[in-house]
A and B are shown apart, each in its own frame.
Chain A
Amino acid sequence: MFNDRAMSSDDSNPAATPTPCQDIQGDGRWMCMHNRFVSDSKGKEPDVLFVGDSLVQLLHEFEVWRKLFSPLHALNFGIGGDATQHVLWRLGNGELDHISPKVVVLWVGTNNHGHHPHQICGGIMAIVNLINQKLPHAHTLVLGLLPRGKNPNLLRDRNAEVNQLVQSEVATLPHASFLNVDPGFVHSDGTIWHQDLYDYLHLTPQAYQKVCEPLHDRIKALLDQPAENQVS
């Protein structure tokens, strides 16, 4: 079991402690998906790797993936329900071992229930640091957490605070940058529409289109830069 010295598991922050998902339900799906990603990484040479939770995973199932990201030679290592500690475990246990993408897109944090914004930020930064160690030539693009829930609520506040903290921390790093991909899902009356987030959390295909166009442009710009010189 790999336990990296430089950004080791921070036992005082559960969001930054690599943790696999336990198979409570009985069908072992999480580990099967992780193993599939590890074996995918042995056969492929992606230029872009997407990693995170269901917002990453579901993206792969809609037309927008085929149109915008397949042409960039992208792989998708999203698992629904994952929090930062799960992604940290996956990346430290094989998912980065056989590939050298130029850009890693990281989108995780909204499932860190019970963790405070500082802890969630710590978890995201632990992932950014792990990626930098394993893939020193890659640029990590951290996506902002989207608002959620039909009406204003504590999770929106929490996600907004996480975004502020992460944006500041990432600004000091040459190998990473932060991108806010919220095109304005919250309307003037404070509501989110189900036409955008069909369950007030997950994106509809039309909402993915709005999120992914600027994301695609940003990734392309990063891919077009010479490897040593990536500046956010």
Chain B
Amino acid sequence: MSGEEQNPAAVPDPVQDVQGDGRWMSQHNRFVQECKDAEPDVLFVGDSMIQLMQQYEVWRELFSPLHALNFGIGGDTTCNVLWRLQNGELDNIRPRVVVVWVGTNNHEHNAEQVAGGILTITQYLRSCLPRSKVVVLGLLPRGERPNPLREKNASVNSLLRSALDRGGPVQFLNMSGAFVHSDGTISPRDMFDYLHLTAGGYSTIATPLHELLLQLLEETPQERRASLV
């Protein structure tokens, strides 16, 4: 990305209330409030892929026990997530690991811009939380059959894989391979609308993610005295 023009996918931007019920800002405000009360070890931030995870059993089984907070908002782009992080959603918390999953809704941006937007988020997280680890989840394929958005998401993933060192403070975890069958189709048993995951779909990705989080939490010291178990 050249330094001369700003990457539009890396420009922080709140969601405007077009529909009339102010839901996006209400959710953001709730997350900011949660930061005042909670001491999460893991913060999940992103779009509906993050948000919906909390509604399934897998969250209660695997991620709540890690003292995780979920700051996902459906429809969010990299611009929206960046704005939220810069406007209160990191205040007063020191999560040891931040999981970032965003980019599939960046319809106005090309793959390079989307990858750049995701990296801007990780750089911002590193600057606020220098002792924390970041896990970037690869964008999943979408649509029932091969289509341009699958190619775009795959390009974003390639760019991220190149940019992020294995074992460094920002890691890339890509689980896309699990969902496309040999005939190129995605099953509604995994993605009920060929985009959002079912309970079964989340179980598939939760296992490797949970293992990675356990490993990273072990490596990353707490900054306060250990909480009683």
A interface with B by C-beta (< 8 Å): 24-29, 32-33, 36, 57, 60-62, 79-80, 113, 148-151, 153-156, 194, 198-201, 204-205
Q: A26-B147, A27-B149, A205-B55 are in contact. Are A199 and B27 (CB under 8 A)?
A: yes
Name A's interface SS: loop
- The interface residues of chain B lying within 8 Å CB-to-CB of A57 are 192-193
Q: Are B193 and A199 touching (Cβ within 8 A)?
A: no
Asked whether any CB of chain A lies closer than 8 Å to the CB of B22, the reply is: yes
Q: What per-residue 1/0 map shows which CB atoms of B198-210 lie under 8 Å from chain A?
A: 1100000000000
A200 in contact with B194 (CB, 8 Å): no
* B11-33 contacts to A (CB < 8 Å): 18-23, 26-27, 30
Q: Are A27 and B194 in contact (CB under 8 A)?
A: yes
With both chains docked as a complex, state the minimum distance between the C-beta of A30 and any C-beta of chain B, in angstroms: 9
Could you tell me if A28 and B147 are in contact, using CB atoms closer than 8 angstroms?
yes
Is B176 in contact with chain A by the CB < 8 A criterion?
Answer: no
- Pick from A29, A149, A153: contact of B144, CB under 8 Å: A29
Let me know if A154 and B20 touch, CB within 8 A.
yes
The residue in chain A whose Cβ has the minimal distance to the Cβ of B21 is A149
Say yes or no: is B150 at the interface (Cβ < 8 Å to chain A): yes
Query: Can you list 30 A-B pairs with a CB-CB distance of less than 8 A?
Result: A26-B148, A26-B149, A27-B143, A27-B147, A27-B150, A27-B194, A29-B143, A29-B193, A32-B143, A32-B144, A33-B194, A60-B192, A80-B196, A148-B21, A148-B23, A149-B20, A149-B23, A150-B26, A151-B22, A151-B26, A153-B22, A154-B20, A155-B19, A155-B20, A194-B27, A194-B30, A198-B51, A198-B54, A199-B51, A201-B23
CA distance A6 to B164 in the complex (A): 61
Nearest CB in chain A: distance from B41 CB, A:
22
B54 and chain A: residue at smallest CB distance: A198
Q: Please, how many angstroms separate the alpha-carbon atoms of A57 and B195 in the complex? A: 13
Which of A79, A148, A151, A205 lies in contact with B193, CB distance below 8 A?
A79
Could you give, for residues 128-150 of chain B, a 1 whenever the CB lies within 8 Å of some chain A CB and a 0 otherwise? 00000000000000111101111
Docked-complex contact A32 and B192, CB < 8 angstroms: no
A154→B143 CA distance, assembly (Å): 34
Partner of B192, one of A24, A28, A61: A61
Closest A residue, CB atoms, query B29: A150
Main secondary structure, interface of B, reads loop
Residues of chain B lying within 8 A (CB to CB) of residue A62: 55
Checking A60, A113, A149 against B26 with a beta-carbon cut-off of 8 angstroms, the contacting residue is A149
A180 to chain B, nearest CB (A): 20
Distance of B80 from chain A, by nearest CB (Å): 14
Known: A36-B144, A153-B22, A200-B21. 20 other contacts (CB 8 A): A24-B107, A25-B149, A26-B149, A27-B149, A28-B143, A28-B145, A29-B194, A57-B193, A61-B198, A80-B193, A113-B19, A149-B21, A150-B26, A151-B22, A151-B26, A153-B20, A155-B19, A198-B54, A199-B51, A205-B55
Least distance between B120 CB and chain A CB atoms (Å): 23
Q: How far is the CA of A231 from the CA of B23 in the complex (A)?
A: 39
Distance between A12 CB and nearest chain B CB, rounded to angstroms: 24
Instruction: Name the B residues within 8 Å of A201 (CB-CB).
Output: 21, 23
B29-67 interface (Cβ within 8 A of A): 30, 51, 54-56
Q: How far is the CB of B191 from chain A (nearest CB, A)?
A: 9
Bound complex: CA of A42 vs CA of B6, how far in Å? 52
Question: In the complex, A200→B30 CA distance in Å?
Answer: 11
A200-B150 in contact (CB<8A): no
Give the docked Cα–Cα distance between A201 and B19 (Å).
12
Give the distance in Å from the alpha carbon of A48 to the alpha carbon of B22 in the complex: 35
| A154: B residues at CB distance < 8 A | 20-21
Beta-carbon contact of A200 and B23 below 8 Å: yes
- Chain A to chain B: the 3 pairs with minimum beta-carbon distance, closest first: A149-B21, A27-B143, A150-B26
Question: Are A199 and B19 touching (Cβ within 8 A)?
Answer: no
A31 and chain B: residue at smallest CB distance: B144
Q: Given A61-B199, A199-B51, are A25 and B107 also a contact pair (CB < 8 Å)?
A: yes
Please give, as numbers and ranges, the residues of chain A lying within 8 Å of B194 by CB-CB distance.
27, 29, 32-33
